[in-house]
A = this chain, B = another copy of it.
Amino acid sequence: MLISEMSRQECCDLLARLGFGRLACAHQNQPYIVPTYFAYEPEHLYGFATVGQKIEWMRLNPLVCLEADEVRSLVQWSSVVVRGRYEELPEKPGYDSKMRQQAEVLLRKRFMWWQTGVAAARTREQSNRDIPVFYCIHIEKVTGHRASRDRRPYRYRTSRASVPSVVTA
């Protein structure tokens, strides 16, 4: 298997196409991951949830990471990692209502995007469970890797005889 780096444009194309990934936030250096839908725009990702641990933690610490991948086989896949900053998009005077509207328009295109958030809130039985939280992730850095078959023989260095010494993919 050969792993190569993806260009920024290739990363963005994959994010735009997939619209689904895993979002990590952190509180007191404890990371937390949840699967999430998103809508890609140049420099931004838009997302939606109801209030829960993810939103609470991102409010406390806006540093986030999102990973999205497309796995065709064990040796053919692409994975993009976004480092970004969370910003909530509330419906309040003083906030950027244009971004909020844009988030809603883009997310509406995703089939049943709202159901995951609402159903998760239902499970948590919160008093504010039906209130949608729209947010934006400002993309600060994006990197991607692609794996493909590699026919070259490769010597794997190890002290243990139990691991194959030559592998090809």
How many Å lie between the Cα of A56 and that of B3 in the bound state?
20
Q: Which of A8-16, A39-47, A66-74 contacts B (4 or more CB under 8 A)?
A: A66-74
Q: How many copies does the complex hold?
A: 2
Binding site for B on A (CB under 8 A): 1-5, 22, 24-35, 61, 63-67, 69, 71, 74-75, 77, 79, 81, 83, 91, 104-105, 108, 111-112, 114-116, 118-120, 122-123, 130-132, 145, 147, 150, 154, 156-160, 162-164, 167, 169
- 18 contacts across the A-B interface (CB closer than 8 A): A3-B119, A5-B123, A22-B67, A24-B24, A24-B65, A26-B29, A27-B29, A29-B63, A30-B65, A31-B32, A31-B65, A32-B81, A32-B83, A35-B71, A105-B162, A114-B164, A114-B167, A130-B157
